[in-house]
Amino acid sequence: MTGTGESRPEAGGIESSLDYPVVLSVAGRPCLVVGAGSVAARKARGLLEAGAQVTAVAPETSEAMDDLLRMTPSDRLRLEPRAYRSGEVVGYDFVVAATGDEATDRRVTQEAIEAGVLVNGAPAASIRSVHLPALHRQGPVTIAVSTGGRSPGLARWLRTRIAGTTDRRLGVLATLLADAREAVQSDGRSSADIDWSDVIDRVLPLIEAGKIDEARATLDGLVKR
């Protein structure tokens, strides 16, 4: 024990300040984006792709946000053309502070933290906020790369290169595996008893060759053994 009452990990223990990665489900949930510039539009688009109900608040909008508003139904994305009002983070499940004005973003971030609302906000106040990773989606598969908010450019660079190495049929494989796992569980068996790595090694070449029906039949046979 230290003189401050804090404990130090013993040799071989865990000593780290790394972020804890999670996947957040926001489908059907109310989310607030404060700001309407290009960065805010990109983050709003990501929330919409995840099924969120998004409200954007900003006195002015960018071309990117205007385009997003035009292509999105009003019951999924609505804009309130005004400045942020203190305390309005309450009632939302997730908040994004992306006005580009440091003082405003800091205030929104701090208010959300104090209200117990998850927030992606001002870097200077990020000790309890959420860092958004660079994403690559392929069907139900999501590949996320994060640098803990320290280097978004590096995260995007890594994301692009990882995306270039993944097979374009990865989404098909994920869908077939999900169906197989559901079938196993419906039979009252545990999917943990199946060597999924071996299954993937056997099925993926068929998918890559475009033999989807054969891949499905092979997968069915492997999980029923």
Q: Are strands 77-80 and 141-145 parallel, antiparallel or unpaired?
A: unpaired
* Domains of the chain and any CATH numbers: 30-132 (3.40.50.720), 170-223 (no CATH)
DSSP helix/strand/coil, 108 = helix
CA angle (105, 111, 116) in 5-degree steps: 125
Can you give the pLDDT at residue 123?
63
Q: Confirm if 130 and 118 have CB atoms less than 8 A apart.
A: yes
Residue in the structure block whose two tokens are 């230290």: 2
Below-70 pLDDT ranges, the chain: 1-17, 122-128, 165-167, 225
Can you give the pLDDT at residue 167?
65
Within 10 Å of residue 52's Cβ, how many Cβ atoms? 25
Q: Tens digits of per-residue pLDDT, 51-73?
A: 999 999 999 999 999 999 999 99
As given in the structure block, the two tokens for residue 98 are 């992306």
Can you give the pLDDT at residue 161?
84
Report DSSP state, residue 131.
P
Within 10 Å of residue 2's Cβ, how many Cβ atoms? 7
Task: Starting at the earlier edge strand, list the strands of the sheet with 53-57.
Answer: 77-80, 53-57, 30-34, 94-97, 118-120
Q: Tens digits of per-residue pLDDT, 126-136?
A: 556 788 888 88
Determine the angle formed by the axes of helices 170-186 and 196-208, rounding to 10 degrees.
140
pTM of the model: 0.73
As given in the structure block, the two tokens for residue 180 are 């197989």
Q: Confirm if 109 and 119 have CB atoms less than 8 A apart.
A: yes
Report DSSP state, residue 103.
H
Can you give the pLDDT at residue 12?
52
Element (H, E) at 97: strand 94-97
Dist. CA 170–CA 136, nearest whole Å: 12
